[in-house]
Amino acid sequence: ETLQRIVSTLANKNDEIHNFIDTLNHTIENVQINSSNAIRELDEEFDGLYSVLDEMKGSMASTIQQEEAHKIQALQ
């Protein structure tokens, strides 16, 4: 009878361990999915920021070139 209780307890603990492992695996999947989503969103955000900065660079370079041309013309 004692042996039967020990075996039963071990079987229950084994089930608990397998359930815990399943929970951990599910949590790992969620972490991986969330991380992938966060990286994708970060990439999109930086791509957008880079695009805005590139446009600003072009605009500022154009302004500088126009100012340079105006100053050179005035000096000539």
Number of domains the chain contains: 1
Amino acid 24: pLDDT:
98
pLDDT of residue 28: 98
DSSP state of 68: H
For 51, the domain range is 1-75
Q: Hunting for tokens 């951990």 — which residue is that?
A: 24
Query: pLDDT, tens digit, for every residue of 20-34?
Result: 999 999 999 999 999
Question: What pLDDT is attached to residue 70?
Answer: 97
pLDDT value, residue 1: 92
Q: What one-character-per-residue DSSP string does 24-68 give?
A: HHHHHHHHHHHHHHHHHHHHHHHHHHHHHHHHHHHHHHHHHHHHH
pLDDT tens-digit readout, 55-67:
999 999 999 999 9
pLDDT in tens, 31-46: 999 999 999 999 999 9
